[in-house]
Structure 1
Amino acid sequence: MRSELTTLAARLTPVLREAGFTADAIAAHLGPEMTEAMHRGEPAAVRFATRRQGRLDQLIRTFILRDPLSPAQLEELIGAELTQALIDAAVFTADQDLLRLDMDIRPHVILGRDRMVFSDADAAMTEHIPGPEHVLGVGAASLSLLQATPDSPVGTVLDLGTGSGVQALGQLHCADHITATDLHPRALDFAEATLGAAVDKQAEIELLEGPWYEPVQGRTFDRIIANPPFVVGLPEVGHVYRDSGLDLDGASALVIGQALEHLNTGGTAHFLAAWIHTSEQSWAHRVASWFPETGVSAWVIQRDVADPAHYVGTWLRDESLDPRSAESDARTAAWLQHFADAGVTGVGFGFVAMKNIGDQPTEILAEEMTQSFTDPLSPEIEEYFTRVEWLRDLNPEEFGDSRFQLRPGVAREDISLPDTDAGVGFTPAVMRLTRTEGPRWSHEVDSHLAAIVAGLHPQGLSLAETVELYAMAQGLDSEELLPAAVNAVGDLVRHGLVVPADLIITE
């Protein structure tokens, strides 16, 4: 055991749960409006909502707002013995005659399971500036990676740069063995406490200290997860949780570029990453250059792009720096000058998923996903690798001989715009096929492709036969139409709008 906090976490967590200090119970107690205020970081509103001073109100004030309280009040909440143990371990520290929680102990719902996460105190609820050694709890980025990482049964998992253990939490119920690494000793202490407090874990846990892949040199895993310090900037470390010390997007390049040698054949890796945009090279080509030439099937999804000024301002505010201050002015100028010297026109951010496909040539799909969606991305990523594996070795003739099904829930959209030539009415502008679930992919199609896709059936005609039948009915040349249909349907398969009959799971 690394830290006394681990023992205390295992003792404290059931006491808090018994008192109703869980994410769902807190949300129900506060109500939707005040729960949103809590998530926005508005402590005064939450303090007003807990003015009734019931036990759960006091726990929210103590553990979320970090309000001071007397030793007697804390004893009444969690018991005298546990209170003294937390004081002795400096989990609560004295502020004159009062005690204040010196870290963040907060319940979260992680992939549908109630968890308690232990980390450093952040600045969301108290007037506090996180220091260079700050260990993050659960943030928006970590939640998005949780939603994008499969939690299907798996043998071995590597959580690279575990921090407070959030990503490992998402794998506890599905993995046999989890190796969590971090170069920051205090992060591993928090991770041990977080993971030790989970009562329903099935995975064996191993914690290793060291940078990047060094602690697992020569080892391979079935699944790798990393939310690395991917902030794009100068080659320096201001805050260990976000700054890698590598220049620009070097952290993302390192984590992605070295992943394959630590993946078992058939294993997958799932990362958050950032990359620069320049006028000299497309972002997609830049990220593609980080992968080896063989052995990888990769899906790179860009979710957002920030201009340099916006990007710099966001991360300076992240460290609670007043944008009007002299320090912020100097930091902004240095950061933006570094971007200008490197020709950076923007910074992209998104997900990277990759699979070890053995000795086959590397294949990469890098694309933007700008549409809004709320469904978890992880099922789509697993299905994506299944779809592209099916596509990988098919020649056009074999593809044409295959049977397909239009995915249930795909909608056909016929968009018309005002007819400016006639001055009245509408004229057709575009036709789209759009998924109404998952990531809501949408493809523009013409009437020919829409009709062909509508005629597909897993027990019916093959694609080539469907095209031939349609061409005969329309007076078209099927030999000219088929190659275009094969290419178009292949794109629809890649995004899951059309499903090969071979991949349909029947009950």
Structure 2
Amino acid sequence: MFTADFCGRLRDAFHTAGYHSDGVVDLLGAAAHAALGRGEPEPVRRVSQDGGELGTLIRLFLLGDPEPAPAVAKALGSAPVEEALATGLLRADGEQLRAGLDVRPYGDVHGSWWVVSDQDSDLRGGPVSPDHVLGVGHASLSLARATARRPVGSLLDLGTGCGVQALHASRHAERITATDLSQRALDLASATFQLNELDVELRQGEWFAPVAGRRFDQVVCNPPFVVGPARVDYTYRDSGLAGDDASALVVRQLPAFLNEGGVGQLLASWLHVRGQDWGDRVASWLPRGGVDAWFVQRDVAEPSLYVGTWLRDAGVDPRSAEGRAKAAAWLDWFEANQVVGIGFGFVTLRRTDAAHAEVVCEDLRHAFDDPLGPETAAWLDRVDWLRANGSAEGLLATRFVVPDTVVLEEVSEPGAEGWQSVVRRLHRTDGPGWQHEVDELAAALLAGCRGHVPLADLLVLLAFGHGQPAEELVNAALPIVRDLVRHGMVVPA
């Protein structure tokens, strides 16, 4: 679709015009750039009118506006307009030219890339096509922020789409393989990689079939996780499997494609079925033994809200005849299968030869700003530490400290003898903002965790000071300490 020569010429034109993350922000300014993010084009048009070639590229690719052919040719530099039309990058609109694809700057703290994808329904002015290739969306951004970024030798981007996860992986992986069922997705991903001068192995096929018999140090996956009837309206979101079977398939099969100690991370959705615990449901997907697993639930949607959201995502008006028919079939399926909610979140899997695998399912639905990726890597480290030192003897011999990022919040109410504490809550002010309610004795114990005295001695002193049997206090404290260690709220000194 895109030749290396054409991508090189296009890259040179973008550099010359300043069509990169910083250049776009600098030209638009804070207010117009914020308007662009909100989908409000007019402030962007006004600011970009005197922006030369950069302004032309912004209106062409980011707003979907028609532009005069001579201005587009000038903005593309040595990249021929004829080839841009032949590849589908541009399309004719009378005597003007429009973008046929979405090409937008996208970056992280280390620099900027360009991502090639199909235009969304707003720019297209109607529903997207069945083989639509999604651009940089909320889901891909969420997965990128939740992915651990430690150096690895080999990484698999399963279901690469336009290649967003592979771009991020290029910062820490020596070798990247990207797969997708859709040939169109691979064509656009190839354009993304060539524009950014990245060497990525591309393979076409369903699920893990393109890499059968291979193993990787890390696997990332943004699968078609939309749940409901078994159908494929849009390949980027629908798997053809009923319910949450797509997420279950990836969780079940992914560990077999990891090297020992390798980590897999994916977005997933799961059904909340009447009378069934969601944690039991997702844990049942795991292969038996040999896998540490962390399921983090970030949101739960009510079925009718879920259906309406995904109809609009594809550009289908829920009030139209098509929208009503699709919604009715979808909601009928949910009702027949006793679905009361749809959970969404992140899954981290690690292949391990440990005798006991750690499987934890947690709700994390409150808002927080820090990316989850560093916390994911730290969580795996803490699991390793607990595996080696989490016995009663190991914990009691350890000197613990409470990090500076952990605070104790207290809520009190007036009583006969003054203010009386009704809630004591530990709160991590960094990472995902974990919170744990503690009683008076636990708060006193943590106040003594300054790295000087083993936990066993602290508990003896606490038992003596509060007139408590030492053995009972130890038995009560150890499970609490394990949970606090797992969440990074107390750490070995």
Identity level (%): 45
> Post-superposition shift, 1:451?
1.4
What's the RMSD between the two structures over aligned residues?
1.7
Partner residue of 1:437?
430
Partner residue of 1:456?
449
**Cα distance 1:402–1:326, how it changes in 2: closer, same or farther (>3 A)?**
same
Partner residue of 1:300?
295
Equivalent residue in structure 2 for 1:165, among 163, 166, 179: 163
User: CA contact under 8 A between 2:54 and 2:75: conserved in structure 1?
Assistant: no
Partner residue of 1:337?
332
Deviation string for 1:202-246 (max 9, x for gaps)? xx5210000100011111110000000000011010000000000
Partner residue of 2:65?
67
Partner residue of 1:93?
91
Q: What is the alpha-carbon distance in structure 2 between the residues aligned to residue 463 and residue 195 of structure 1?
A: 52
Q: How does 1:259-338 map to 2 (within 5 A)?
A: 259-338=254-333
Q: What is the alpha-carbon distance in structure 2 between the residues aligned to residue 196 and residue 358 of structure 1?
A: 39
Matching residue's letter, 2:230: P
Partner residue of 1:230?
225
Partner residue of 2:49?
51
Secondary structure of the 2:121 match is: coil
Matching residue's letter, 1:67: D
Segments of 5+ residues of structure 2 without an aligned counterpart are none
> Post-superposition shift, 1:70?
2.6
> Post-superposition shift, 1:78?
2.2
Secondary structure of the 2:54 match is: helix
> Post-superposition shift, 1:326?
1.6
Partner residue of 2:102?
104
Residue range with higher mean Cα deviation, 78-87 or 361-370 = 78-87
Partner residue of 1:414?
410
Matching residue's letter, 2:143: L
> Post-superposition shift, 1:253?
0.3
User: CA contact under 8 A between 1:7 and 1:193: conserved in structure 2?
Assistant: no
Deviation string for 1:150-209 (max 9, x for gaps)? 12110110100000100000011211111100010111111111122224x5xx521000
Matching residue's letter, 1:463: L
Matching residue's letter, 2:234: H
Q: How does 1:128-207 map to 2 (within 5 A)?
A: 128-199=126-197, 201=198, 204-207=199-202
| 1:121 aligned onto 2:91 | no
Partner residue of 1:504?
none
Q: What is the alpha-carbon distance in structure 2 between the residues aligned to residue 405 and residue 229 of structure 1?
A: 43
Deviation string for 1:395-421 (max 9, x for gaps)? 21221111211112111111124x3x6
Secondary structure of the 2:154 match is: strand
Q: What is the alpha-carbon distance in structure 2 between the residues aligned to residue 483 and residue 170 of structure 1?
A: 45
| 1:374 aligned onto 2:366 | no
Q: What is the alpha-carbon distance in structure 2 between the residues aligned to residue 403 and residue 215 of structure 1?
A: 49
Q: What is the alpha-carbon distance in structure 1 between the residues aligned to residue 429 and residue 438 of structure 2?
A: 16
Matching residue's letter, 1:342: N
Partner residue of 2:471?
479
Partner residue of 1:446?
439
User: CA contact under 8 A between 1:12 and 1:82: conserved in structure 2?
Assistant: no
Equivalent residue in structure 2 for 1:494, among 486, 490, 493: 486
> Post-superposition shift, 1:264?
0.7
Matching residue's letter, 2:250: V
Segments of 5+ residues of structure 1 without an aligned counterpart are 502-507
Secondary structure of the 1:4 match is: coil
Matching residue's letter, 1:391: L
Matching residue's letter, 1:213: F
| 1:208 aligned onto 2:203 | yes
Q: What is the alpha-carbon distance in structure 2 between the residues aligned to residue 53 and residue 25 of structure 1?
A: 11
> Post-superposition shift, 1:66?
2.0
> Post-superposition shift, 1:79?
2.3
Partner residue of 1:505?
none
Partner residue of 2:398?
402
User: CA contact under 8 A between 2:13 and 2:77: conserved in structure 1?
Assistant: no
Q: What is the alpha-carbon distance in structure 1 between the residues aligned to residue 477 and residue 350 of structure 2?
A: 28
Matching residue's letter, 2:467: G
Matching residue's letter, 2:486: R
Secondary structure of the 1:259 match is: helix
* TM-score normalised over the length of structure 2: 0.96
**Cα distance 1:329–1:452, how it changes in 2: closer, same or farther (>3 A)?**
same
Q: What is the alpha-carbon distance in structure 2 between the residues aligned to residue 111 and residue 53 of structure 1?
A: 25
Secondary structure of the 2:450 match is: coil
User: CA contact under 8 A between 2:290 and 2:352: conserved in structure 1?
Assistant: yes
Q: How does 1:339-354 map to 2 (within 5 A)?
A: 339-354=334-349
Matching residue's letter, 1:47: R
* TM-score normalised over the length of structure 1: 0.93
Matching residue's letter, 1:296: V
> Post-superposition shift, 1:50?
2.4
